[in-house]
Structure 1
Amino acid sequence: MGGIGKTTLAQLVYNDSRVDNHFDLKAWVCVSEDFKMEEITKSILRSVSSESSNAGDDLNKLQTELEKKLVEKKLLLILDDFWLQNYDDWSRLISPFGVGTTIVVTTRDKTVSSMVGTIPDYKLPTLSDDDCISILTQHALGAKDFSGHPNLGEFVVQIAKRCKGLPLAAKTIGGLLRNKVDIGKWKEILKSEIWNLPEERSNIFQALRLSYHHLPADLKRCFAYCALLPKDYEFTEEEIVLLWMAEGFLRVEATKQSEDLGHEYFQELVQRSFFEISNKDDSRYIMHDLINDLAHSVAKDICFRVEGDKALNVSSHARHSSYIGGRKDRIKMFQVFYGKKGLRTFLPLKMPEGWRYISNQVLSELLPEFKYLRVFSLQGCYLTEFPNIIGDLVHLRYLNFSGTIIKTLPDSICKLYNLETLLLRGCSRLEEFPSEMRFLINLRHLDIRGADSIKMMPMGIGELTNFQTLTNFVVSQDNGRKIREMENLSNLKGGLVISELQNVVKAQDAWVAGLCYKSNLRDLALEWSYNFAGEEIHKDILDSLQPPKMLERLTIECYGGETFPNWFGDPSFGKLSILDLYYCPNCTLLPAVGRLTSLKSLSIRRMSKVKKVGANIFGKDLSINAFPSLERLRFQDMPEWEEWDPCEVDENVRSFQHLHELIISNCPKLLGSLPNRLPSLKKLKINLCQQLRSLPSCLPSLERLVIQECEKLVVSLSSLPKLSDLEINGCQEVSSTSCANSGSFIERVSLSDISKFTSPMEGMMLGLIKAERLFIYVDVRS
């Protein structure tokens, strides 16, 4: 049965910390009815390895590669929503997995369960009425029960019974009644005729349809449009909002931006459980299969999906289309599009790895028919150029060439005066823009992330004052492309990278850009070229590029100044949570960032002239607790760093109180001392610090310790009561009175290349009772 909670239960298991500790690798694959063994195998490969596969669609090569990745590894594999009933295919699918693999399958089909099971299956029961009441009130009233609203009690009980023990139904109806405490609304839902409609898929579809029925009209249209999304397709909020905007679904008053309304609509559908956060990536969303079926049902003839060679009977009234094709999409697949002259949307989705090859005949024959297109995408297609006919699609609002290999855009694109969104992400060979792009006066979103061959911005880019998204600004010395062109781009939001800053000749030009006034920027990266990292003018330029106070993330790369400007580290940047300083070769002093109250992550890398980290980084007033929110700290590739003075003179001053993770890598001259009082530290990793002699003395929360190639370091395990994961490869001495660590037991141990190892054998063995892995190689040299 759908909607009973199979996937939710599997997610709870998958995300449990105890499961993380037990398995080396995890993979989650949504299988659904469209079973493709190659795609499933590739999905598992992507989960267990960060390296891209060269096996293509060759199943034998894919499985051989997967088998190699799993040698001596413990894998948890979830196969969600499994329908396959062919035992030979099942046997082939699982052939790469050995004894270290545990497979959990969720399915609605008892036949499938019998075929794949090696232990008795677990049939998830429906919920009790009390549990349904709990879910319903949690989503409707934000409470575990209705005790706070006793007048609603009768209606809560009756509606919960109508949900027939199905959590998705209770959750969806709860979303419909969210924050509604008026009896009339609850009575209206209870008495709705939709509950009595015949539906072969059980009561849950009536509950879902009821939730849709009570959506506002504009939200109904936005939700129905999502019928274009294939099952198990993961999408971002921004992706959907931009599509809604292009279709004209977001009608706003003059005081509100379309995008803001779109985000409100999207979150409303999240609150009502039409969209759910993906269990694999919390920045993406997914629709439950039954919700997807509902969208398809309510969209009727307006939306259609082309999936492979499936036969379709498409209405002449169809307006929106998506297609899920293969690597080579020939003209036959697109026969269904002929004659659909009223089409508004042409959207390829769910592309497999690699290029999608689309016939030139498709473009030359179909595009002239699609004169009313608002949304057009060729994302991921193997295209080196695009015909000028694109300029005839004058109604286009949304154009996506991301992931193609085009070198230039057709000049005719500059005639698309209605264009709002232009996506060129990952167009690595794109070198330049058309000369008259300044005429695209309605352009609001330009994404050129990963289009690293672009050397300059479009001429007159400063005239495109409707920009909200501009992912990169490549600075040039040419008029019309200088950094001062940013002055009038006052509506920029989200993230922005300003690169090639060595082309700023005058600091005054940087000040004119007015970054500090662009209050909606949240993520900013300022980058100079590696070849120009030695110029002192950089400090004046950086001083003039002071960001807005609401900034949340800041990256500085290849900065050539010896010191940082005064605004750096000012506590007025109260939202700044991530700071990354990379390759500042002339810098001798780190900036005073210890007073940034929201800073959670600090990364300092390739600062080749820094010799001491001390009071300068904490700030002027050492009586104030520095780094009050810092959780992650990394120092890497600092060849001259010798001393870390933690300034722990005053017992009442506590810095780094919330630090969870500390990484020190390739700092060969560092002697110490590291901060001693790190009460919250859970992970400590130190490698290639050949002169370091001791670790912090007080690490009561440390769970994972990794030491690599620190020849003079002496490691004491006696004061690490929560240590569970220990890896030491290369150090002077390891000592411990007992590895048992006050009743806590180490689960994973790897010790090698240690000059001296001192620990009572009884205590050591006692501490390793729970060890799942043990590797000790001791070379006693003295």
Structure 2
Amino acid sequence: MAAGNVGGAFLGAVFGEVLKVVTDAIHKAYKFKSELEELKSTLESITPTLQEIEKLNGVLDIPERETAKLRKEMIKGAKLVRQSSKMKRFCFFNRVNYADKIIKLKKSIESFCNVNLQTQMARDNKRILLGVDSMVKMLSINEKGVGVSNRVEIDGPCSVPDSLASTPGLDVPMKELRTELLKDDGMQVIVVSAPGGAGKTTLIKKLCADDQVKEKFQENIFFVTVSKTPDVMVIVKRILQHKNTEVLAFQTDEAAINDLERLLKSIGQAILLVLDDVWSESVVQKFKLELPNYKILVTSRSVFPQFGSGYQLKPLNDEAAMILFRSSVTPQDGKLSFVYEDLAKKILRVCKGSPLALTVVGRLLREEPAAVWQNTVKEWDQGKSIFISGTELLVCLRSSLDALDEEVKECYLDLGSFPEDQRIPITALIDMWMELYECVEDGLSAITKLHKLSNRNLVNLFIARKDASDDGYYNDHFVLQHDLLRELIIHQSMSESIERTKRLIIDISENKFPKWWSERKTNPIHARLLSISTDEKFSSCWYELNAPEVEVVVLNLRTTKYTLPNFMENMGKLKVLIVTNHGFLPAELSNFSILGSLSISNLKRIRLEHVSIPSFGVQMSNLQKISLVMCNVGQAFKNSNFQISDAFPNLLEFEIDYCNDLEELPVGLCDIVSLKKLSITNCHKLSTLPEGIGKLVNLEELRLASCTELSELPEMVTELSNLKLLDISECLSISELPTQIGKLRNLETLCMRGCSSCELPQSIMELESLNEVKCDEETACEWEPYKIFLKKLKVEVLKEDINLNWLRKRHF
């Protein structure tokens, strides 16, 4: 709609002026053209309604107090847009500041119309008043023998908003949702969840406009936008007004819901309540009613597992993403020239299938020359964040983070320390968080936080064996973060200056260090977490880095040879080191001796994955836990001059997983009497345990799962008087338990899945503390006669529920 078509009343004049200013500014704007176009679109969409309100106000002689606040907003808006149009191109921070203000202005107008003014409701009420006034006049005139009839079509306040004509990538989700929605015996509550900007609202608008859905629910589809601060009484009032029902003043939410239930019962037909943008499941719970043919369709950034599995909307595939991007850039025909097409493919990789990102970036680049496209792609390749270009995208996704409580949010931001498209071991996160946030020892606090993040659609959890975590074993649990949200994490983490940021996350391509680092111009860095990711061409030539406050270092590498940086020697507060090789071959790790420096004597936890260790050869007296995953350790452990008890005299936990060259345990391991947890799993060449294992008098957990060549448990295992858990699952070569295993009087849990050929000695009747045996069905039968003697014993038959999807990202 052109600016000149706005009505002549005062509010209309203000709107006309702002529209004119915005239209002029769009042609002058350099970077936030998309924000101005969004503002223009918002103004044009609500202008006809506000025009009608003003006309009806005049007819009905109603004061314009309703729109006074809006007029003030628009006057300020005109001033803001004029200022922004004069801004110089190179003023980056001012540009971002103005873009934020323009978006806030747009949202303020929308909020005023949707919540305060409730534009459509006001318009409808005025139409009704005008209709009543006309009827009175008509009756008066009819007494004189003259009649007049006018019919006005009215949209209710809970009408379904118009859906987009083109919705690429949503046909399959809509078909699946429609099938569930039309089931008479299906779930009453269907939750469609996905991160912000994924297209949830677009999907349900399209669904509500579907012919089959409309045929079933007819005029009984109520569409309500809930948002972060829902008011149940207001929602109910809107539904009642939608059905032209008398609205009373409610004192409580319960009273409102009671009135709603009476209304819905009186309808006597299929009813669909759409609750869009729900942030808390408690709101949905209030609208659950025991009514036949009553469905509630919910969209949320959270999963809400109490309502069932729901439907998680996935990112767009490449084909659908390209269609949406083209239509955002060229809305007339959705076609791009050859020059732009190649650049568009690169842009799609950055947008990660997010409809909002594709739309925002598309509008940003609309009508821009190829040089601007090329520069945008180049800036992204050099590490510039997409969120600088798409402020609206930043506002949308950042709200997901802002909704988290502070501790969970901090943990979530730590996930940016790990590379894109790589699964993050939960055990690595536990190591980090126990030292950064003092999480409880058994990892339950960390797992709880990850479940919260998973329910918010911020991460995906992968669990290889569902029963594995019951006893605190998380080695086969992984997290995958969403790519675009990882970009947001890094953007948020780097929003402060390098010197003051809590997390310093650095990506190094080839040997191109960040300018601030290579020029060595920074003051001491105060980050607590340092993450450095390097590629296949990195030469391990390091610049110095002064970071004395770092407590956690995460090194992500891809080269076959890697040198630990010397600057770690000056990290006096370092507590956790995580080194992960994401390349195909194991990386030979050198300069390991630096970890023995007296200045980093606080180091407590080391996790090494997919690396080759020529020798430890260093003493770390305060080290409490070491984890070796898919490492080549044979050479280091066979070194006759090396005793692990000398290197790690106060070790509490030792984990070795998938180390295929491990044939025997390192010399001196049985002399670390402080050891409480020993886990040697999936090491198929390990055939024997040392007799001296009985010296580990403080050992509480011994895990030997899937060591398929291990032929026996030495009798000295029965000397482990404090042992509470023994896991020999899938140790296929063990034919019998030690004859005196009954001496393990503190043993509480015995895991022996896949050990059906293992004989049980009579002494197991003396395991007085044994509460649980986890095994397969055949082994369970062997335990049945002993339940008479072991009164507390519960034998749990574990089903084969192994999930191997996680193997796709592991290296062998």
Give the TM-score normalised by structure 1.
Answer: 0.42
- Tell which has more relative contact order, 1 or 2 (C-alpha 8 A, sep 6+): 2
Structure with the larger strand share: 1
Higher Cα radius of gyration? 2
Structure with the larger helix share: 2
